[in-house]
């Protein structure tokens, strides 16, 4: 029995060696390195954003309502130090969203989900400086539980993810930043997460996860429309970005359910039609639970996206960072590259490209992972370092 196992092992080794040497002559190994940085222990490490034009990243830990200010090395972008600040009345205030303000350069929006508040803070000049609150916006009833917060034009937006105490309904909140009496609540489905503007039409799109639909808002009329995700392609709309140029429109991801994801993401352009794309690779792609998304386009590399597959909803979905490229007309996926995260079942949460590295937050393991490579522009692999489908061999 033992000798049989030993023989199979030798055969496997021999086959492996042949494959490796055959590949060596054809393909050089590419540079992709992940490093994990430990954050303070917490059960929910949530959103993060870079403070524009600084070497600071702000990361929210919701389970203890702590804001982690992380300093990056100015040259390598490696996280080098952090300082933790409690936000809200106490550790149950549920610090959740974080987003940079453009109207107030250098200032950051935060949400306190359990206190029904949005805060505009000055993160401070250096690592140890305590953030100072510049403005507080109270979410009006019947709204409840601000989750992700965004600034679009002169308005601040938040998806209210908790059912209203008064009506049992869910709402999207929007307020004029300089006129606090101009506030609006749009009733929506369960429950709003990302809120983005379609650049050509100025229409606002909102992902709603549990009810698996996208809401469109015409801010001129206040009219809202639901675009349900066809169950045949997947479910659970979460991540969304606005994109420009050849990718123009909003792009969104489907995170799947307890049985896994479908590797599906979608696009809505100026026509308002939903168009879906599906990852093909059988090992990490077709069951991917795509929670978040970022633009990976570059001048040399053309249109591209970072997609983040998570084990948050199902352990059948991998924790992986996936880079997809498109044909020139952005009508079909032309390449898929898979970077498996170091810690599986970490429930990876958000992806943020910096100037030359990419950061991924791991919700359940209080970790920030950093992808480094030898290229100078995020996602722009040198031609000799790009990975195509050809380098994948099918599992036997």
Ligand X SMILES: *[C@@H]1O[C@H](CO)[C@@H](O)[C@H](O)[C@H]1NC(C)=O
Q: Which stretch binds ligand X (CB under 6 A): 36-44, 73-81, 88-96, 161-169?
A: 88-96
At 9, give phi and psi (nearest 5°): -65, -45
- How many Cβ atoms are within 10 Å of 355's Cβ, its own excluded? 10
Q: Does 166 bind ligand X (CB under 6 A)?
A: no
Cβ of residue 196: shortest distance to ligand X, in angstroms? 14
Q: How many amino acids of this chain bind ligand X (CB under 6 A)? A: 30
Q: Which stretch binds ligand X (CB under 6 A): 2-10, 51-59, 257-265, 355-363?
A: 257-265
Q: Which stretch binds ligand X (CB under 6 A): 101-109, 121-129, 137-145, 239-247?
A: 121-129
CA distance 232 to 237: 14
Q: Which stretch binds ligand X (CB under 6 A): 55-63, 200-208, 239-247, 283-291?
A: 200-208
Q: Does 3 bind ligand X (CB under 6 A)?
A: no
Q: Does 210 bind ligand X (CB under 6 A)?
A: no
Looking at residue 330, the DSSP 8-state letter turns out to be S
CB 170 within 8 A of CB 160: yes
> Out of 187, 201, 210, 248, which residue is the one contacting ligand X (CB under 6 A)?
201
CA distance 177 to 157: 10
CA distance 304 to 96: 28
Q: Which stretch binds ligand X (CB under 6 A): 8-16, 254-262, 284-292, 294-302?
A: 254-262
Cβ of residue 132: shortest distance to ligand X, in angstroms? 12
Q: What does R_g of the chain's alpha carbons equal in angstroms?
A: 22
Q: Does 8 bind ligand X (CB under 6 A)?
A: no
Q: Which of residues 13-32 bind ligand X (CB under 6 A)?
A: 31
At 60, give phi and psi (nearest 5°): -100, 135
Helix or strand or coil: residue 13? Answer: helix
Q: Does 213 bind ligand X (CB under 6 A)?
A: no
Report the Cα–Cα distance between both ends of the chain, in Å, rounded: 23
Q: Does 249 bind ligand X (CB under 6 A)?
A: no
Q: Does 218 bind ligand X (CB under 6 A)?
A: yes
CB 111 within 8 A of CB 65: no
CA distance 287 to 310: 10
CB 93 within 8 A of CB 114: yes
Q: Does 234 bind ligand X (CB under 6 A)?
A: yes
Residues that bind ligand X (CB under 6 A): 31, 89-92, 115, 125-126, 129, 179, 181-182, 201-203, 218, 220-221, 231, 234-235, 257, 259, 262, 280, 334-335, 374, 388-389
């Amino acid at each position: 029995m033992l000798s049989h196992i030993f023989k199979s092992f030798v055969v496997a080794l021999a086959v492996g060696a042949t494959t490796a040497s055959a590949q060596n002559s054809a393909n050089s190994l590419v540079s992709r390195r992940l490093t994990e940085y430990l954050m303070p222990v917490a059960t929910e490490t949530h959103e993060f954003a870079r403070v524009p034009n600084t070497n600071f990243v702000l990361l929210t830990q919701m389970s203890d309502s702590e804001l982690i200010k992380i300093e990056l090395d100015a040259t390598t972008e490696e996280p080098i130090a952090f300082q933790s600040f409690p936000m809200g009345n106490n550790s149950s205030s549920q610090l959740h969203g974080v987003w940079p303000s453009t109207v107030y350069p250098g200032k950051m929006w935060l949400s306190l989900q359990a206190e029904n508040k949005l805060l505009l803070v000055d993160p401070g000049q250096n690592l140890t400086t305590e953030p100072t609150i510049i403005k507080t916006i109270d979410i009006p009833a019947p709204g409840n539980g601000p989750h992700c917060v965004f600034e679009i034009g002169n308005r601040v937006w938040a998806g209210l993810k908790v059912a209203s105490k008064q009506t049992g309904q869910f709402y999207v909140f929007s307020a004029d930043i300089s006129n606090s009496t101009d506030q609006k609540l749009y009733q929506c489905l369960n429950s709003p997460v990302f809120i983005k503007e379609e650049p050509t039409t100025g229409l606002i799109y909102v992902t709603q996860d549990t009810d698996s639909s996208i809401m469109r808002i015409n801010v001129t009329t206040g009219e809202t429309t639901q675009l349900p995700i066809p169950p045949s392609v997947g479910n659970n709309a979460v991540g969304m970005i606005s994109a420009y140029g050849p990718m123009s429109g909003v792009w969104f991801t489907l995170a799947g359910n307890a049985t896994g994801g479908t590797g599906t993401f979608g696009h809505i352009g100026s026509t308002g039609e939903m168009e879906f794309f599906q990852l093909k690779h059988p090992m990490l792609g077709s069951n991917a639970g795509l929670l978040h998304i970022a633009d990976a386009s570059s001048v040399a590399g053309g249109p591209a996206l970072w997609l983040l597959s998570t084990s948050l909803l199902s352990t059948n979905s991998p924790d992986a960072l996936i880079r997809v490229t498109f044909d020139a007309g952005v009508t079909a996926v032309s390449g898929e590259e898979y970077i498996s995260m170091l810690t599986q079942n970490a429930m990876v949460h958000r992806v943020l490209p910096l100037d030359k590295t990419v950061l991924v937050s791991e919700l359940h393991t209080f970790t920030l992972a950093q992808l480094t490579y030898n290229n100078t522009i995020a996602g722009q692999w040198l031609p000799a370092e790009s990975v195509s489908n050809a380098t994948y061999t099918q599992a036997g």
